[in-house]
Copies of this chain bind each other. A is one copy, B any other.
Amino acid sequence: MLSYTAQIRVRYADTDKMGVVYYANYAVFYEVARTELFRHIGFPYSSLEEQGIALPVVELVSHYHKSAHYDELLNVQVSIRQMPTAKVVFFYEIRNEQGDLLNDGQTTLVFVNMQTGRPTRIPADVRAAMEQYFTVE
């Protein structure tokens, strides 16, 4: 399994009139976390795009358990449980500083060739960098 925990400070801009983080913004937190996971394994997402590969989201699922509040420092754990092929499933768990689980969810992204606009396999160098995290039996 490949896993990374990003820290995100809740901004005033993230809150809504209920006094807590607006529900759509958790998807932004997911984006930050998976970007940091890519950087962590040596493949900044921006370098993927330079290779002509995009990674659009095709599915988002999010469960809201407790509210996140202004100025809290959130731990956003992201993990990939299975070696990706043409798509990648990221799992997320967001906790506050007390360790309470506030939100969990997942996103499915597909590798797309920017020129053709069509799905493509995971680039060989990303595959190589990821494989060390998955037990191959």
Contacts and interface: CB of A to CB of B under 8 A. Distances in A.
Interface in A38-88: 44-46, 54, 56-64, 67, 70-71
Copies in the complex: 4
Contacts of A4: none
A19 B62 CA distance: 25
A13 B13 contact: no
A35 interface: yes
Interface stretch (A21-29, A118-126, A129-137): A21-29
For the residues of A in contact with B, the DSSP-based class is mixed
B61 A60 contact: yes
A4 to B, nearest CB: 14
A56 B60 contact: no
B70 A59 contact: no
Given A12-B31, A23-B31, A45-B71, 14 more contacts: A11-B32, A11-B35, A12-B16, A13-B24, A13-B28, A16-B16, A18-B56, A23-B27, A24-B24, A24-B28, A27-B27, A35-B71, A59-B62, A61-B61
